[in-house]
Every structure is written in C-alpha cells, then in structure tokens.
C-alpha cells in the first residue's frame, strides 16, 4: 500500500485569504498549479504574496497514481458518484481519478491526489477540499444565490439544486437592481449569534437555452447593481422549476424550512465531526428567516416581473 504524505518540495506555492482564514496551497506540478490558480480566480478568495502568520489550512495537490484508502473505515456514498471513508478526525473522499484526505489538526491539512483530471473533475475535488477545510472553522457552504432587496436592503437566499432556476432568478434580480453575493455558492457563518452569508463563487453561470453548456460571466461587467460582501438573511426561497406560466409562492413553517435546509446541505449530515455545529447554524437560519417554497414559472424570465414577485414576498 502506498504511503500518503505531504510534499516536501512542492513545485508551486500560493497563499489566499477568505473570511479571516489563511490558506496555503502547494502543488507538485507547475501545469496543475496554473490550473488551480485559474480556478481560484473565479472564487471570492483574496490572493496574498505571503502569509504574516501560520496558515489555518494547508492544501497539497499531488499528480500521479492514487494511493489506497486504509481498510476498515466506515464508508458511505455521497452525491456525484463519490465515496466517503471516515475514521476519527480524518476522512477520505474518493471519486474516479481523484482522492482527498483531510486531517483535522493545526493547520487543517488536506491532501488531494489527482490522476489526469479534466477541468470539471479538478474543480469538483478542489471545491470539496476547500469547503471541507473551511467547515472546521465554522464556515459552511450552501448551494444558493444571495441577493439584497434594493428598497428594504433585506437579504434573501435562493436555494436549490442544479436546474432549479436558482442562477436564472439571481441573475434577473441583479439585472433589476438587486445587490448580489453569488448566483450559486455561499458560505454561512455565525456572527454574534446571527447567521451571516457571504459569496464564495464570483462568476455567474447560466445554462444556454439551446444547449446544455453553461455561459459563464463576471457580473460586474453585466449589472449596474453592486456586489455585496455579506448579508444577514431575512428570507429564504427554496426553488424548483414548475414549467407553468405563473410562479407560485407558498410560505413555509419554520420546521418545514429547517427540513428543506438540511436537505440542501448534505454535508451537515455527512461530515460527522462538525455536524452538530452545522445543524445548529441551519436551525438559527430557519429561525432568523421567513421561508418560501417557490415554484418558478415562466413569468420569472422577465427581470422586472421577478423583482416584483420576490419583493412582494419580502414585504408580506
């Protein structure tokens, strides 16, 4: 069995900051390092020339054959065809062609092993690596868009899986003058016992109506509305596409909102080391916000109509 180890002499090193946490990134391969830097450029991470203190998180990327996962660990399947193996303060996450190992120590150490990955595979495993490490510091990822109603300045989260209309609705609201955090990925944390959301992915991505390809763009070049650093959400909209002409909104009870939030955050259950803290944050979010089930109709394809419908719900 191959021994898993951190690089002694990496080919490339880089440094980033996010939400007060410092990341040290190293790679065994310069071409891979370039691809990772390009990927990070699309996230809301601040590149640094050096670190003024010890990093909170250390992520090492290694090219080559994947090492074996130790036998005897508890294991279960995760979304997108992955498999997770856990033992105490460390876990492994394996997909075809990639393997992630996390050790919960100081700093949090993540080793990512890659065998000839596509861009999509690299993006997936890198996102898992960064998010898994950030969870150890109370920063929990959420697959959601974040917007700010222009009149009341109330923050709202638009939550749903891929294909639920989340990015489309966030884009139309931004076009109608709403402030925005991200169309797809947020980080949630507690600040003075209040849930705070900040954007994690910087670019927007919409599926082309004539194909399955995504059209990616930087929102700053498309919208006059501002990007917002963070919000304390007051509303959550849990979306799905109905295919009907008109959108239907249904207010949820707090317990229903909590159930839907847990469903939207599978790692709140998968990652047992931080599950209690993650679930407590989701509980606070459910108490802090008014939740709506949103069955998106074709009328939401007009920015002004989308703004009117969502604004109405925020002012009820």
Close Cβ partners of 253 (under 8 Å, ≥ 6 residues apart): 291
Q: Is 129 helix (H, G, I), strand (E, B) or coil?
A: helix
Would you say residue 3 lies in a domain?
no
Residues 40 and 182 in one domain: no
48 and 192 part of one domain: no
CA distance 3 to 86: 17
Q: How many domains does the chain have?
A: 2
Contacts of 124 (CB under 8 A, 6+ apart): 80, 95, 98
pLDDT in tens, the chain (316 residues): 333 344 455 678 999 999 999 999 999 889 999 999 999 999 999 999 999 899 999 999 999 889 999 999 999 998 778 899 998 888 999 998 999 999 999 999 999 999 888 888 999 999 999 999 999 999 999 999 999 999 999 999 999 988 888 999 999 999 999 999 999 999 999 999 899 999 999 999 987 655 566 788 899 888 999 999 999 999 999 999 998 999 999 999 999 999 999 999 999 988 989 999 999 999 999 999 999 999 999 999 899 999 999 999 988 7
Domain boundary among 135, 162, 177: 135
- 166 and 249 part of one domain: yes
Same domain for 188 and 58, yes or no, is no
**Burial letters 225-261, b for 16+ CB under 10 A, else e:** bebbebbebbbbbbbebbeeeebeeeebeeeebbebb
237 and 155 belong to one structural domain? yes
- Domain containing residue 35: 12-135
Q: Tell which of 103, 135, 167 closes a domain.
A: 135
Residue 1 maps to a domain: no
- How far apart are the C-alpha atoms of 23 and 51, rounded to whole Å? 9
Distance of CA 311 to CAs 132, 151, 261, Å?
34, 9, 22
Our CA angle for 145, 186, 107, nearest 5°, is: 170
Shared-domain flag, residues 129 and 166: no
Is position 5 within any domain? no
Q: Domain check: are 144 and 129 in the same one?
A: no
Asked if 138 contacts 189 with a C-beta cutoff of 8 angstroms, the reply is yes
Say whether 277 sits in a helix, a strand or coil.
helix
The predicted structure's pLDDT at residue 163? 85
Please report, for the domain that includes residue 182, its CATH number: 3.40.50.300
What is the structure's pLDDT at 7? 47
Identify whether residues 170 and 293 lie together within a single domain.
yes
Q: Is residue 175 part of a domain?
A: yes
Query: Is 7 part of a structural domain of the chain?
Result: no
Is 122 within a domain? Answer: yes
Residues 276 and 246 in one domain: yes
174 occurs within a structural domain: yes
Q: Is residue 4 part of a domain?
A: no
Q: If phi over 0 gives left and psi between -120 and 50 gives alpha, with beta otherwise, what is residue 96?
A: beta
User: Is 197 in the same domain as 86?
Assistant: no
- Residues 21 and 122 placed together within one structural domain of the fold: yes
Residue ending a domain, choose from 89, 110, 135: 135
- Residue 218 three-state SS: coil
pLDDT of residue 1: 37
CB 188 within 8 A of CB 146: no
Whose CA is closest to 14, among 4, 5, 32? 32
Same domain, 46 and 119: yes
């Amino acid at each position: 069995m191959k021994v898993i180890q951190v690089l002694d002499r990496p080919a490339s090193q880089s440094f980033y900051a996010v939400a007060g946490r410092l990341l040290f990134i190293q790679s065994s391969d310069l071409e891979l390092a370039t691809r990772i830097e390009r990927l990070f450029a699309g996230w809301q991470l601040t590149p640094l020339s050096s670190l003024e203190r010890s990093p909170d998180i250390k992520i090492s990327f290694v090219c080559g054959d994947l090492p074996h996962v130790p036998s005897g660990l508890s294991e279960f399947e995760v979304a997108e065809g992955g498999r997770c193996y856990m033992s105490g303060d460390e876990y492994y996450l394996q997909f075809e062609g990639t393997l992630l190992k996390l050790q919960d120590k100081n700093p949090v150490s993540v080793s990512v092993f890659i065998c000839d990955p596509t861009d999509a595979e690299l993006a997936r495993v890198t996102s898992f690596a960064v998010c898994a490490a950030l969870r150890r510091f109370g920063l929990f990822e959420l697959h959601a868009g974040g917007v700010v109603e222009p009149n009341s300045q109330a923050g709202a989260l638009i939550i749903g899986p891929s294909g639920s209309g989340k990015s489309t609705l966030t884009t139309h609201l931004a076009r109608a003058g709403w402030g925005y955090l991200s169309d797809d990925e947020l980080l949630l944390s507690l600040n003075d016992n209040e849930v705070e959301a900040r954007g994690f992915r910087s670019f927007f991505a919409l599926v082309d109506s004539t194909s399955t390809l995504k059209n990616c763009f930087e929102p700053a070049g498309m919208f006059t509305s501002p990007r917002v650093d963070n919000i304390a959400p007051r509303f959550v909209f849990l979306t799905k596409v109905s295919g009907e002409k008109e959108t239907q909104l249904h207010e949820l009870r707090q317990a229903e909102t909590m159930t839907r939030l847990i469903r939207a955050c599978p790692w709140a259950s998968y990652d047992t080391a931080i599950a209690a803290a993650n679930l407590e944050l989701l509980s606070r979010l459910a108490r802090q916000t008014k939740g709506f089930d949103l069955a998106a109709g074709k009328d939401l394809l007009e920015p002004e109509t989308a703004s009117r419908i969502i604004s109405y719900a925020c002012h009820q």
